[in-house]
Every structure is written in C-alpha cells, then in structure tokens.
Amino acid sequence: MLAVPPNAAPRRPRRGKAHALLSARTATLALLTALLAAGCSVPGAPEAPTGQAARAAECERKGGWWHTGVADGFCEYQMQGGGSM
C-alpha cells in the first residue's frame, strides 16, 4: 500500500473548462436533435373530401360527365372507339 503524505490535497474529479464545454456541446446537440425530429414530423395527409360535390369534381377531372338526380349521382364516361359493327 502506498503512503499518502499528510499535506497532500484530497483528490477531486476533473471538472474544468473542458468538461463544461463538453457538457454544453452535448446539451446543444441533444436540443438540435430534438428540434430536428419535431420539425420533420408532419401530421398525416388530410382526408379527401367526400360527398356528391367531391365525386362530381373528380369525375370531371377524369374527363367524365356527372349526372345528378339518379340515386346519389353517377359519372358517365365516353368509350373509346365508338364505331359500329
């Protein structure tokens, strides 16, 4: 066993400027990571509107004709070709 001189100062953990700088960098990195994760998360896509008006708009976007008055409405498309036999 080693003898400790009576006038020796007690050992303390090393906590100087380097430790404080490392701690500050770690805290900054953790904060930036949390902010990045929060900024990249987006809510889900909004639900598509439903109802007769939405279906009529989609029918017209696809090149059809929307008919109201029959049941809940329907979309009519013209067939390609249309020749006689």
In tens, the pLDDT along 5-42 reads: 777 777 766 666 666 766 888 888 888 888 877 776 66
Q: What is the pLDDT of residue 44?
A: 67
In whole angstroms, what is the distance from residue 19 CA to residue 30 CA?
16
Helical residues (DSSP H) of the chain, grouped into ranges: 17-40, 52-61
Distance CA 9, CA 53 (A): 84
pTM metric for this prediction: 0.36
pLDDT at 2: 67
Block residue for tokens 């990571």: 33
Residue 55 · residue 73 · CB < 8 Å: yes
Residue 19: the pLDDT is 66
Q: What is the pLDDT of residues 44-76, one digit of tens each?
A: 666 666 788 888 898 999 999 998 877 788 888
CB under 8 Å to 64, separation ≥6 — which residues? 75, 76, 77
Q: Per-domain residue ranges for the chain? A: 50-79
More confident residue, 85 or 24: 24
